């Protein structure tokens, strides 16, 4: 059973990976950072889906993050950096 502490740590984990992807300046490292963040977001979304309680705010944040990561990946590919 998960505790409030683990939920907080899970929340921080995907946010840290998201920030790392946004701030990555190395063109070779960016796709890896995006993939790591996407994986963490999906895992957290699954956890929230299975959990009881009011998770609407974090769920909405996860949706926004996935949209932003998709846009970041698309811009990366359009600019021919891949």
CB count, 10 Å around CB of 77? 11
pLDDT at res. 81: 65
Virtual torsion, Cα 51, 56, 57, 61, nearest 10 deg: 80
Q: Tell me the C-alpha distance between 34 and 64, whole Å.
A: 14
Q: Tell me the C-alpha distance between 68 and 17, whole Å.
A: 13
Q: What is the pLDDT of residues 40-71, one digit of tens each?
A: 999 999 999 998 778 899 999 999 999 999 99
Q: How confident is the prediction for the chain on average, in pLDDT? A: 88
pLDDT at res. 82: 53
pLDDT at res. 79: 82
Contact 64, 72 (CB under 8 A): no
Query: Does position 6 have pLDDT exceeding 80, yes or no?
Result: no
Q: Tell me the C-alpha distance between 46 and 51, whole Å.
A: 9
pLDDT at res. 7: 60
Residue linked to tokens 């956890």: 47
């Amino acid at each position: 059973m998960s505790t409030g502490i683990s939920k907080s740590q899970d929340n921080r984990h995907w946010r840290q990976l998201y920030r790392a992807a946004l701030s990555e300046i190395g063109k070779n490292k960016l796709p890896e950072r995006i993939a790591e963040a996407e994986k963490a977001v999906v895992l957290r979304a699954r956890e929230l889906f299975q959990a009881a309680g009011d998770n609407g705010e974090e769920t909405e944040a996860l949706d926004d993050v996935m949209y932003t990561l998709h846009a970041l990946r698309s811009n990366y590919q359009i600019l021919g950096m891949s």
